Amino acid sequence: MFDSLSEKLESVFKKLRGQGVMTEDNIKEALREVRLALLEADVNFKVVKDFVESVRVKAVGTEVVQSLTPGQQVIKIVHDELVAVMGGNEDNGLNLAAKPPVAIMMVGLQGAGKTTTCGKLGRHLKNLKRRPLLVPADVYRPAAIEQLATVGRQLGLEVFNSSADQKPVDICSAAMRFAELNGFDTVILDTAGRHQIDDFLMNELAEIKAAVLPLEILFVADAMTGQEAVNVAGGFNERLDITGVVLTKLDGDAKGGAALSVKAVTGKPVKFVGLGEKLDALEVFHADRLVSRILG
């Protein structure tokens, strides 16, 4: 395994102990290590470039605090900057404050984890004493409707009855009416994905958005896809003005740099992370935790 960034920086700065101030020269090598660590964690290269520049500006001229080594101090600057770029430690909870039923629309590429995340989110909301209704609106992938029904059964959550011969926008509108009549306060819409962004899909999602006016549109991104997740997030955000991101499969090898890039590119917060295939493997996003993971 790689040494952690902290260890690398400690060794970079070994020679530097006792020299009061950080200068362009003496932090050059440290910034190189920071850049490599971020690229290794799959952060988009443009995002890395801007980020390293902001760390440089903060670090140069800084006096080395007595209690820290220069390496520890750069780590602290990098850590604090990363947390700030990720939106700080503010609460990025769901915005559900409106007259019920409110809709949460899940969007993303096929395989990103939408259907699974619908179930996880339903469970999360149930724990918060809400009454969620799961709605299968992916009529193209043959097994998708049945998959969500299975997830609903496992969690004891109601799943709206839809069939593959209906138009997705009709399913979603009918589900909103059903929720209103039957006392469900939150409607989670599982929409179709594709292997890549296409106009047909985007038009369909825009149509659903216009019909149900969701309070949340969550883009579900597979952390393992790294850089690609960023381009795709940009595309979905442009067309749909998403409200947040769920980063799935962080239980794998991905270091989670995609979270940083997606936030930097779309300006939208990561709200949840998926940490496994099981339906309880969902966590509210904490910038601190992700940053520790990236810095290793």
Residues within the annotated binding site for GTP? 108-115, 190-194, 248-251
CB neighbourhood size of 45 (10 A)? 11
Residue 61: other Cβ atoms inside 10 A: 10
Q: Are 137 and 193 in contact (CB under 8 A)?
A: no
- Exposed, middle or buried: residue 141 (CB in 10 Å: 0-12, 13-18, 19+)? middle
Given a contact cutoff of 8 angstroms between Cβ atoms, the answer to whether 5 and 37 are in contact is: yes
State the binding string over 170-209 for ligand GDP (x if CB under 6 A, else -): -----------------------x----------------
Identify which of residues 73 and 248 has a Cβ nearer to ligand GDP in the complex. Answer: 248
Q: What one-letter code names the amino acid at 227?
A: Q
**DSSP string of 151-179, one letter each residue:** HHHHHT-EE----TTS-HHHHHHHHHHHH
**Segment 215-254, which members bind ligand GDP (CB under 6 A)?**
248-249, 251-252
Q: Is 168 near ligand GDP (CB under 6 A)? A: no
Q: Which is nearer to ligand GDP, 36 or 281 (CB)?
A: 281
Total site size for ligand GDP, rule CB under 6 A: 18
Q: Are 269 and 285 in contact (CB under 8 A)?
A: yes
Which range touches ligand GDP (CB under 6 A), out of 24-32, 107-115, 154-162, 226-234? Answer: 107-115
Can residue 277 be called a binding residue for ligand GDP (CB under 6 A)? yes
Using CB under 6 A as the binding rule, whether residue 276 contacts ligand GDP is answered as: yes
The CA-atom distances, in angstroms, between 39 and each of 43, 47, 147, 168, 254 are 5, 10, 36, 39, 12
Check binding of 110 to ligand GDP (CB under 6 A). Answer: yes
Nearer CB in complex with ligand GDP: 162/248: 248
Q: Does 136 bind ligand GDP (CB under 6 A)?
A: no
Alpha-carbon distance 131 to 176, whole Å?
13
Asked if 71 interacts with ligand GDP (CB under 6 A), we say: no
DSSP count for the chain of H helices, then E strands: 11, 8
The reply to whether 274 sits near ligand GDP by the rule CB under 6 A is yes
The residue within the footprint of ligand GDP, chosen from 44, 73, 116, 225 (CB under 6 A), is: 116
Per CB under 6 A, the list member of 275, 286, 293, 296 interacting with ligand GDP is 275
Question: In angstroms, what is the minimal distance from the CB of 205 to ligand GDP?
Answer: 13
Q: How far is the CB of 146 from ligand GDP (least distance, A)?
A: 11
Q: Residue 257 Cβ, how far from ligand GDP at the closest point, in Å?
A: 16
**If you search the block for the tokens 């769901």, which residue do you land on?**
94
Count CB atoms within 10 A of the CB of residue 185. Answer: 17
Q: Decide: is 256 part of the binding site for ligand GDP (CB under 6 A).
A: no
Q: Which residues bind ligand GDP (CB under 6 A)?
A: 108, 110-116, 193, 248-249, 251-252, 274-277, 281
